[in-house]
């Protein structure tokens, strides 16, 4: 009989690695990136600065930031064969599957193990281009090339919409992308580290992570939040709509979180950004009002449950305010999370040992 091991369904509570990339403390509502509060990074820094922090271990100097920004801009263009593949994929294939295929097509004999920081930067630069290229093909428009005058987030919006974006929208989306760059040993990060631990290449690891994020239990888009806010429609309708939903046993989407048992720190940061923009953006203004009413009613109907706003609530508000459609929500999440995935792959490669858990056999034995 084989030795039996302690069983943890879904590996809940099981530490599988040591990391200095991030701390996720759901009990106390803490999210830390390499010794920095994630909420402060989102409010006071840019996507490129936080990517540098996760990839290199420290916030960049002016020279380091210019170097990283330049490398990201120089690596945005897609190879022609990838563009051809993106055009050939049937129109009814979902965007996450397209992104997974597009990233996989970036693999080449030059990719090996261990991964390099140049490979990481190149891949992170190309993922927004894949999403925008495919989106424009589906809209019947000629895809725009990257704009070297624009930083990472602004260029993403430019490629999607065909015009230089509103600076307020760039600010809001940049904050969201910072807050989703990294979030501990979640399912997609674990999948990427498992692949990398076999000494497979970076493209394979990120392809596996994208496939994992595609699952609705992990990267499900916050479209239900946008549907709720759209159904409410006006500030005056917020309380009667939400009260009716609760009295009929329904859930308020965007409230409560599996990990965070107190305030989601990512939602806290996005609330700050939303408050700056709500005066000039009707969608933000309505969303912040719905949040206020929702929290009041949840305390009334479910006292002591501590159902706070989660990141999906304000993610939905940000995505809709900047004009992104629902089918772009999760791909946009991936465009950001590739920073954390690749940082974990680099960390895994730095002190590698193959990840090979065991299972408990519960079947019958032969006679």
Vertex 30, ends 26 and 36: CA angle to 5°? Answer: 150
- Active-site position among 48, 312, 344, 347: 312
What letter would DSSP give residue 305? S
Cβ-based burial of 36 (10 A; exposed 0-12, middle 13-18, buried ≥19): middle
Coil/strand/helix, residue 253: coil
| Contact (CB, 8 A) for 99 and 131 | yes
Catalytic (active site) residue 312: yes
Catalytic (active site) residue 257: yes
- Active-site position among 45, 52, 169, 257: 257
| Alpha carbon distance 207, 97 (integer Å) | 10
Tokens 């495919």 correspond to what residue? 134
Question: DSSP of 22-76, one letter per residue?
Answer: EEEETTTTEEEETTEEHHHHHHHS-HHHHHHHHHHSSPPPHHHHHHHHHHHHHT-
How far is CA 126 from each of CA 74, 103, 155, 220, rounded to the nearest angstrom?
Answer: 10, 8, 11, 23
Whole-angstrom Cα Rg for the chain: 21
| Contact (CB, 8 A) for 308 and 255 | yes
What letter would DSSP give residue 14? -
Contacts of 251 (CB under 8 A, 6+ apart): 245
| Alpha carbon distance 87, 67 (integer Å) | 33
Tokens 């009716």 correspond to what residue? 244
Closest CA to 290 of 337, 330, 245, 248: 245
Q: Evaluate the omega torsion of the peptide bond into residue 114 and state whether it is cis, within 30 degrees of 0.
A: yes
The catalytic residue positions are: 257, 312
């Amino acid at each position: 009989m084989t030795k039996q091991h302690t069983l943890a369904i879904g590996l809940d509570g099981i530490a599988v690695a040591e990391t200095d990339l991030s701390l996720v403390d759901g009990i106390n509502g803490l999210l830390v990136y390499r010794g920095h509060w994630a909420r402060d990074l989102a409010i006071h820094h840019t996507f490129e600065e936080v990517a540098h922090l996760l990839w290199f271990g420290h916030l960049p100097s002016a020279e380091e930031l210019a170097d990283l920004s330049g490398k990201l801009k120089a690596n945005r263009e897609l190879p022609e064969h990838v563009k051809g593949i993106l055009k050939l994929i049937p129109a009814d294939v979902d965007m996450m599957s397209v992104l997974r295929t597009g990233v996989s097509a970036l693999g080449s004999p030059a990719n090996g193990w261990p991964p390099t920081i140049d490979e990481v930067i190149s891949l992170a630069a190309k993922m927004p281009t894949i999403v925008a290229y495919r989106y424009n093909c589906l809209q019947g428009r000629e895809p725009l090339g990257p704009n070297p005058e624009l930083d990472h987030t602004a260029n993403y919006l430019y490629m999607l919409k065909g015009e230089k974006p509103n600076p307020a929208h760039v600010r809001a989306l940049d904050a969201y992308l910072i807050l989703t760059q990294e979030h501990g040993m979640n399912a997609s990060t674990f999948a990427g580290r498992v692949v990398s631990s076999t000494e497979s290449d970076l493209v394979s690891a990120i392809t596996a992570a994208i496939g994992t994020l595609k699952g609705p239990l992990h990267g499900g888009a916050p479209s239900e939040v946008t549907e709720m806010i759209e159904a409410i429609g006006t500030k005056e309708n917020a309380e009667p709509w939400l009260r009716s939903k609760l009295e009929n046993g329904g859930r308020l989407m965007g409230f409560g979180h599996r990990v965070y048992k107190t305030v989601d720190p990512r939602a806290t940061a996005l609330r700050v950004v939303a408050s700056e923009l709500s005066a000039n953006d009707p969608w933000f203004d309505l969303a912040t009002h719905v949040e206020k009413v929702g929290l009041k009613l949840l305390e009334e109907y479910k006292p002591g449950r501590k159902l706070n706003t989660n990141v999906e609530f304000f993610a939905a508000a940000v995505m809709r305010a900047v004009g992104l459609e629902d089918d772009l929500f999760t791909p946009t999440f991936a465009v950001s999370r590739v920073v954390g995935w690749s940082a974990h792959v680099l960390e895994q490669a730095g002190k590698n040992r193959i990840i090979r858990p065991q299972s408990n056999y519960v079947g019958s034995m032969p006679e």
